Structure 1
Amino acid sequence: MKEIFYASGIFSFLVIFCLFIFAATKGQTRIWLWSLLKICFFLALFTSWQTDNIVLKWILIEASTLFGSLLISSSGTERSFQVGWKYLLINSYGLGIAFLGIIILLFASRPLESLDFTSLRLGLEGQHGILIKTSLLLTIYGYSAKLGLVPNHFWVGDTYGESPSQTSSLIASFVPVSVALALRPLIQLEKEVNSSLVNSANGILFLGVLTILYATWVLQRRDDIRRIAAKVALFHTGMLAVFLWLDVNDTIFYFLLATTLLIKLIIFVSMGILRMDSGHRLIEQILSAKGINQYSFYGYFFALILAFVFPLSPVFILDMEMIKTGLIRNQIWLFLFPFLGLVFFFIALNKVLPIIRLEHRPFEKDQSRILSIRMFFLVLCFLSALALGSYGMFGLVEGEM
């Protein structure tokens, strides 16, 4: 499953990169400069997936923060610069706290042969002091800011809602999975050294639940297709935190990461198509238009379905896994999370469904080529997500997940 996750990452980046090269909007300039930054952003995070070195992983994730802030400001507007600075400051604040925790963790351990997490675990074996618990608290909390969990979520809405759709999809897809890979061994270690109810591992669960509830509550007040997409991404980030707390096996965990990549990619690519085709981002303004290309609406519509309730969606498979885990561990309250997903989906559906009443029209001539290219890649993303969901369904039936 790890290989499928890596393949999903490479596929997702190639889709984003090709969309930026071959289907950029007219306002996007210096294509090759921003393309180089996108490559640097991807390589930094993709390399962080390969290493177990706890310090190198932090350095690579921090490097992506700089590249990401520059990409956010690629629009060249005053608003984009403000959002870029917010992204840079909040993420650097969180990663600074995480680095302080890592330093204390290394200080508290016995002499290490390397900075790999396996060696660190051996160096901390048998220790349960307050210094180790504090260092884990700082590290996990710091990384949660980069993940975008409440209360350090303020960069998420602006970043996903105000950036170009390719930048939004790049950050939303790759940052959460990279941070999840960094957090997982830390949360496992926290459960070993601190079995009390009040610990950092349970804190991640608490922040994940708060993030899910916050995303659902704020969604009711959003009538902006960009902001709706951002709240979908935030909801799934909260679910990612819940799965980190559950400490599922490697097969399910890497399936979860591959799902996160593909679903967030689909959400933002479909949103970009609808935004460009309609010429508006507010649903009220879209409804006042004379017509819309129905393919752009159905792309966004099916993206929402795929992100929550479609039976062959990998998200649906993960919901089934959560229910299964709840039954096995006798934690029936886990059934609440698939239910919250349904509530979120129906709120979002109620907001976007009126667009279907608009008359169908072809793509505008000056945008037809760009939107056709984007639709082609969106269909590829749909097929990839359905293939992953089918694979997950087979594994669920056969008991391999």
Structure 2
Amino acid sequence: MTEILFYISGIVSFFVVFGVFVFAPTKGQTRIWLWSFLKIIFFGTLFASWFTENVVLKWILIEASTLFGALLISSSGTGKSFQVGWKFLLINSYGLGIAFLGIVLLLFASTPLHTLDFSALKQGLEGQSGLLIETALLLTIYGYSAKLGLVPNHYWVGDTYAESPSQISSLIASFVPVSVVLAIRPFVQLEREINPSLVNSSNGLLFIGVLTILYATWILHRRDDIRRIAAKVALFHTGMLSVFLWFNVSDEVFYFLLASTVVVKVLVFVSMGILRMDSGQRMIPQILQLPALNLKSFYAYFAALLIAFVFPLSPVFILDLEIIRTSLDKHIVWLFFFPLFGSVFFFIALNKILPILRLKNREFAPELRSLLRIRLGFFFVGLLLALFLGTYGMYVMIMGGFGHV
């Protein structure tokens, strides 16, 4: 059931982002239909990668999204956007190149294969171990982690999410990480079977995931830019994805995690775009100097942060409960830190944006009224989807579901 919910959430989230771009673009956006077509291709390649078990085809589709993503990042036509697009292209291609080398080594080490599906590859490696296979898995998992945006290959994340138009940021932040996680998960599971020792790629993934969470939290208190805050929210959740990969959760929890990630990141970036357009500023000190603001734009951003961390009917909150239950079942006390990290991150972000409430309320500017109302409409579609996912997750937990880690 959660797998179907994930696919539905992906499609609905894409149409939310696509609808905002087509019906409520920023004034600097030109050639909307051309970029819309490229967005469809970008989403289509990643969406197709969700369904294939062919490890090479999956890699090709994810690599193709790198090129399309770089083009979308540079769609604003500024010198900064071109620099960010090149950084995105180079770092992601570097990581995926390493991952492909690892895949090639795994294919070389396996017995002759009839297909390139992961199940056939796993069967071909059955009973084998050794330095070659362990190195191949390390290269594959580490290479994909660069595309995921984990430390130490996180340098493209902040600029990409903060300097791109909010619709582009939401597309990349929502769909790239879940696609990479779907590609990397079988290799992490295989690593556990072949190399169960303490020093392995799976534990390394947990380590850099925790570093990513700590880095996002530490750097947040130095940011007064609503775009950068949204980028750090996305980076924090990417770190949590790697933690859940290490947990080796059941398929039911895994697909619920992916659905939550897609929807929550779309909410964060769409709401950030609304606040950015309404205020005309991106720095919080500059927003606070405004005589007034339509507080609906603030409440949308605030609601997105609530959903992303602590709201009781948020799917993220359900996942935190799942971590707590896992820690109790497995007697792993340190797992309690992860929900705590989320709470700390939320309250730092709340401390940043809460002074905006002191501004007087006003109507939307006449020239932006229709655009912002359309964006709010699409935002509420995403918000309802997030609340539905959270409600469903709460119902499943009450009925005794989930928990098979």
Could you tell me which residue of structure 1 aligns to residue 191 of structure 2? 190
1:400, distance to aligned residue in structure 2 (A) = 1.6
1:307 is aligned with what amino acid? A
Residue 239 of structure 2: aligned partner:
238
Residue correspondence of structure 1 range 222-233 to structure 2 within 5 A: 222-233=223-234
SS at match of 1:114: coil
- Which residue in the other structure is 1:95 paired with? 96
In structure 1, distance between residues paired with 2:147 and 2:228: 19
TM-superposed CA distance for 1:399, in Å, is 1.3
Q: Which residue type is aligned with residue 146 of structure 2?
A: A
What letter matches 1:159 in structure 2? T
What are the residue-to-residue correspondences of 1:280-295 with 2, within 5 Å? Answer: 280-295=281-296
Aligned to 1:30: 31
Aligned to 1:7: 8
Q: CA deviation at 1:330?
A: 1.4
Q: Residue in 2 aligned with 1:250?
A: 251
Q: Aligned-pair RMSD on alpha carbons? A: 0.4
1:167-182 pair list within 5 angstroms: 167-182=168-183
What is the match of residue 336 of structure 1? 337
What do the CA deviations read for 1:333-373 (whole angstroms, capped 9, x no partner)? 10000001000000000000000000000000000010000
* Distance (whole Å) between structure 1 residues aligned to residue 157 and residue 400 of structure 2: 36
Structure 2 equivalent of residue 129 of structure 1: 130
Tell me whether 1:364 sits opposite 2:365 in the alignment: yes
1:307 is paired with a residue of what secondary structure? helix
Quote the offset at 1:25 in angstroms. 1.1
Aligned to 2:49: 48
Find the counterpart in structure 1 of residue 110 from structure 2. Answer: 109
User: Is the partner of 1:302 in helix, strand or coil?
Assistant: helix
Gaps of 5+ in 1: none
Following superposition, the deviation at residue 26 of structure 1 comes to 1.2
Deviation at 1:113, TM superposition (A): 1.3
Runs ≥4 in structure 1, deviation > 2 angstroms? none
Distance 1:325 1:144 in 2: 25
Q: How many residues align?
A: 401
Aligned to 1:310: 311
Deviation at 1:332, TM superposition (A): 1.2
Instruction: Give 1:239 deviation, angstroms.
Output: 0.4
- For 1:216, the equivalent position in structure 2 comes to 217
1:378 maps to: 379
TM-aligned CA deviation for residue 129 of structure 1: 1.1
Which runs of structure 2 are paired with 1:52-71 in the superposition (5 Å)? 52-71=53-72
Look up the match of 2:298.
297
Match of 2:148 in 1: 147
Q: Distance in 1 between matches of 2:331 and 2:140?
A: 30
Q: Which residue of 2 aligns with 1:119?
A: 120
Partner of 1:82: 83
CA distance in 2, matches of 1:55, 1:290: 56
TM-score (norm 1): 1.00
Amino acid at match of 1:384: L
Seq. identity, %: 70
Residues 114-173 of structure 1: CA distance to partner in whole angstroms, max 9, x if unpaired? 000000000000011110000000000000000000000000000000000000000000
Residue 327 (structure 1) shift: 1.1
Equivalent AA in structure 2 for residue 368 of structure 1: R
